[in-house]
A and B are shown apart, each in its own frame.
Chain A
Amino acid sequence: MYEALSALGSVVLDPYLLFLIFATTIIGIVIGVLPGLGATTGAALLLPFTLTMDPVHAIAVLATIYVSATFAGSITAILINTPGTSAAAATTFDGFPLAQRGEAGRALGIAVIASTFGGIVSVIVLCFAAPLLARVAYEFRPPEYFALTIFGLSMLASISAGGAVKNLIGGVFGVWLSTIGAERVTAIERFMFGNYELYEGLSFVPVMIGLFAMSELLVQSKMANQAVEYIKMKAVQLPSREDYKKIWKTVLRSSGIGTFIGILPAEGATVASMIGYSEAKRWSKNKEEFGKGSIEGIAGAESANNAATGGAMVPTMVLGIPGSGTTAIILVGLMVHGLRPGPYLFNEQVTAVYQIFGSMFVANVMFLLMGLYAAKVFARISLVPAAILWPIVFALSVIGAYALNSSMLDIWIVLIFGVIGFLARRFGFAVAPIAVGLILGKMVEVNLQNSLKIFSGEWWQIFTQPLAVFFLVLAFLGLCGPQLFRLATRGSFEAKDGKSD
């Protein structure tokens, strides 16, 4: 605990790190308010800029982008009825109607306070839960890790966009991508087509930039000339005592919900905000206000989506299993900077880990201040014409992809995966499962190989390991549970119908 507190304190005493968090919070808010450019795209674009940084600083930058962009999505959600990020979609339900009533400043004030509270609660949970989970995960052997990654992949079925089957197909495609390159044990070249730059496998960064940034460019191109309704406001207004009385229970509840949902592998801020919003409505005494400008609705969605950011960092850091598209990029950042994600991180790099957590805490405070005093300025940035903004994204994408390995191949990978991502989204597939599959793919194959070695090739012995069975049962329930439940309830309904007949 002392180590944790001293590491947290060292963040405040490191002026360079504070400056980085400050600058990145501004960049994160700018990214968050620009429709189409969310935390994931922002983190993918910024990853190459962190290459020369110290690992802690680099991950702090990515984590700051994550929390500040997640919050900033609410600014455009409230002012122009366009969520800057998908996680802010639920904020539009009540944020925009309240702004239309001339209370945009109040709506933003509620959003800022709720987001900050949710974010801070989740960082505190992260500080306590991550080391505990790491202690458990420290005992995992290849069969348990194999089962855990299967559980992580099975959770892709419930990612917000796309259907379960489509998400699983995306995940399997991502895992296949991870087999490109020389096989680890035998060095046999797989799917390289004579290109020796692929010997070490597909580089994660260009794939991420292609899937998230370049495909978004193509998606946004169909909205190139859309006009938006912009609501003016005087200043952000802090919630009044009555407002606090009305929302404190919602904020507490949604912070808990958001943190818990964030911890679940493959669930992210979008799901958290939707559930946070619907729970706020379910528990509210003023249900009729929802959809017409309820401050509880704004608080419920915003505290949940920011709470999910800290929660999603738990499986990312402790198990090496990303909780969302953005944490997939943070995970890539950890690997690029030589920090091995997993329980060993909490033994080998404990100070670095707590400095990253501390940075997330400071980032939450920074966006509170900026949200309160500069939201009006940031809101104007959302009016930058798409015809100027997206060419800049194009330039950042190709140069950023090249910068990592100084390889022209990486630029072509960005373009190819941009088109693949666009076509996938066009036909209802989400791109996050492909990214998560690519990251988890190596873990699945390596741990399966090692398990087979441990059990002398008898794969069914995996089912003799209690923890592995636990994760596999969870995966099975995650995949088939809803269908089984539907079948079971249909059976009981039919029985009831039969009786009544």
Chain B
Amino acid sequence: MIKQQIVPIVLTIVSVVIIYLALQLDLSPPMIVGDSMQPRAFPIFLMALNLLLTAILAYQIFKTPPKKPEPMNRVTWLSMVLMVLFYGLTVSTDMFIAIAVVMFLLSLAWGERRLLIAAANAVLTPFLIFLLFDNVLRIRFPRGILMNWYYG
């Protein structure tokens, strides 16, 4: 029962938390707000509406329970873990090193067995995109091991 209602439960918690956060917002003096509304009013109204819709959703699920979603497979989990790894590598080394490593591991996780092809894709694609953005679009990328070496 609770498992079936997991989505409405999560939505309710999120809505209540947002209402709580909205209630912590400063009140603006009436001379600034005038005839309009306080900054907290609109988000609170939205979340109240969301709670109402969530109640309808919970009732719909109660009346006709939806099909249980298939368990997430290994590749999806790995892809998500690689996103976290991307964050760690970007902060600790360099954005382009992080992209290359994650691309390479992503290829392997998705079933690519030709290591050379996966490696070539992981190195060449970010390099070509970098060339385009750096030379044509004049974008400066965040500093890291590679960018410090490139920008000097």
Interface of B is mostly: helix
Q: How far is the CA of A33 from the CA of B66 in the complex (A)?
A: 32
Number of interface residues of B (CB under 8 A): 70
B35 x A403 contact (CB < 8 A): no
Measured between alpha carbons, how far is A293 from B79 in the docked complex, in Å? Answer: 39
Q: Within 8 Å of chain B (Cβ to Cβ): is A464?
A: no
For residue A411, CB closer than 8 A to chain B, the reply is: yes
Q: A179 CA to B46 CA in the complex, in Å? A: 10
A402 interface contact, C-beta 8 A: yes
Any A CB within 8 A of the CB of B106: yes
User: Is A445's CB under 8 angstroms from B42's CB?
Assistant: yes
Chain B residues numbered 1-59 whose CB sits less than 8 Å from any CB in chain A: 7, 11, 18, 21-22, 25-26, 28, 32-37, 39-40, 42-43, 46-47, 49-50, 53-54, 56-57
Contacts of B97 in A (CB 8 A): none
Q: Report the minimal beta-carbon distance from B127 to chain A, rounded to whole angstroms.
A: 10
CB neighbours of A439 from chain B (8 A): none
Among B76-126, those with CB < 8 Å from A are: 76, 78-80, 83, 86-87, 90, 95, 99, 102-104, 106-112, 117-118, 121-122, 125-126
A427 with B42: CB separation less than 8 A: no
| Bound Cα distance from A70 to B69, whole angstroms | 29
B48 CB, min distance to chain A CBs, angstroms: 10
Whether B145 sits at the interface, judged by CB under 8 Å, is no
Given contacts A176-B46, A448-B42, contact A403 B33 (CB under 8 A): no
Tell me which of A16-24, A184-192, A324-332, A355-363 binds B: A184-192
| In the complex, A369 has a CB within 8 A of chain B | no
Contact A418–B133 (Cβ < 8 Å): no
Q: In the complex the two chains form, is B42's CB within 8 Å of A456's CB?
A: no
B60-A218 in contact (CB<8A):
no
The reply to whether A386 and B110 form a contact with Cβ atoms under 8 Å apart is: yes
Q: Are B110 and A427 in contact (CB under 8 A)?
A: no
B90 & A225 in contact (Cβ 8 Å cutoff): no
The yes or no answer to A253 lying at the interface (CB within 8 A) is no
| A185 vs chain B, min Cβ distance (A) | 6
B120 CB to nearest chain A CB (Å): 10
Q: Are B129 and A186 in contact (CB under 8 A)?
A: no
Report whether A415 and B86 are in contact in the complex, using a CB–CB cutoff of 8 Å.
yes
A387-B47 contact, Cβ under 8 Å, with A168-B53, A188-B25? no
Report the tally of A-B residue pairs with Cβ distances under 8 A: 164
User: Across the interface, do B87 and A453 meet the contact criterion of CB distance under 8 Å?
Assistant: no
Residue of A176, A191, A411, A445 contacting most chain B CB atoms (<10 Å): A176
Looking across the interface, which residue of chain B has its beta carbon closest to that of A52?
A: B137
Partner among B40, B86, B104 whose Cβ is within 8 Å of the Cβ of A398? B86
Give how many A residues have a beta carbon under 8 Å from the other chain's beta carbons. 59
Chain A: which residue is nearest B83 at the CB level? A415
Q: Is the CB of B112 within 8 A of A403?
A: no
Q: Is A234 an interface residue (CB 8 A)?
A: no
Any A CB within 8 A of the CB of B65: no
Quick check: is B62 within 8 A (CB to CB) of the other chain?
A: no
Query: Are B102 and A394 touching (Cβ within 8 A)?
Result: yes
Main secondary structure of the interface of A (DSSP, over half): helix
Chain A hits for B87, CB < 8 A: 412, 415
CB of B57 within 8 A of CB of A419, answer no
In the assembled complex, which residues on chain A have CB atoms less than 8 Å from the CB atom of B63? none
> Of B39, B110, B140, which is within 8 A of A224 by CB?
B110
A391 to B121, Cβ gap below 8 A?
Answer: yes
Q: A185-B32, A403-B137, A452-B37 are in contact. Are A165 and B47 (CB under 8 A)?
A: no
Q: Is the CB of B112 within 8 A of A388?
A: yes
Name the interface residues of A378-403: CB closer than 8 Å to any CB of B: 385-388, 390-392, 394-396, 398-399, 402-403
A391 to B110, CA, bound (A): 9
Q: Are A217 and B34 in contact (CB under 8 A)?
A: no
Q: How far is the CA of A392 from the CA of B126 in the complex (A)?
A: 8
> Which one of A172, A224, A391, A453 contacts B53 once the chains associate, using CB atoms below 8 Å?
A172
**Do A190 and B83 touch (CB < 8 A)?**
no
Question: Which residues of chain B come closer than 8 Å to A166, judged between CB atoms?
Answer: 57
- Give a binary string over A191-213; 1 marks a CB under 8 Å from any B CB, 0 the rest: 10000000000000000000000
Contact (Cβ within 8 A) B80 A406:
no
Chain A residues contacting B146 (CB-CB under 8 Å) are none
A491 within 8 A of B: no
Residues of A within 8 A of B72 (CB): 222, 426
**Smallest beta-carbon distance A63→chain B, Å:** 20
- Which single member of B11, B39, B122, B139 contacts A190 (CB below 8 Å)? B39
| Interface contact B53-A179, CB-CB below 8 Å | no
Q: How far, in whole Å, are A31 and B37 apart by their CA atoms in the complex? A: 45
CB-contact partner of B79 in A173, A218, A395, A456, under 8 A:
A218
CA distance A386 to B106 in the complex (A): 10
Pick from A217, A391, A455: contact of B107, CB under 8 Å: A391
Q: Mark A414-457, 1 if CB is under 8 A from B, else 0.
A: 01001100100011100000000000000001001100110111
Tell me if A163 counts as interface (CB < 8 A to partner B).
Answer: yes
A191 to B137, CA, bound (A): 33
A167 CB to closest chain B CB (Å) equals 10
Query: Within the complex, what minimum Cβ distance (angstroms) separates B138 from chain A?
Result: 7
Can you add 7 more A-B contacts, CB < 8 Å, to A224-B75, A394-B103, A419-B83? Answer: A183-B39, A218-B79, A224-B109, A387-B108, A391-B122, A419-B80, A448-B37
Can you name 19 A-B residue pairings with CB atoms under 8 Å?
A: A52-B138, A165-B56, A172-B46, A179-B46, A191-B21, A191-B43, A221-B73, A221-B110, A225-B111, A391-B125, A395-B129, A402-B142, A406-B139, A412-B87, A415-B86, A415-B87, A426-B69, A428-B66, A449-B36
Q: Top 8 nearest A-B pairs by Cβ distance?
A: A387-B112, A457-B35, A387-B110, A183-B39, A391-B103, A186-B28, A224-B110, A188-B39
Interface residues of A (CB under 8 A from B): 48-49, 51-52, 163, 165-166, 168-169, 172-173, 175-176, 179, 183, 185-186, 188, 190-191, 217-218, 221-222, 224-225, 385-388, 390-392, 394-396, 398-399, 402-403, 406, 408, 411-412, 415, 418-419, 422, 426-428, 445, 448-449, 452-453, 455-457
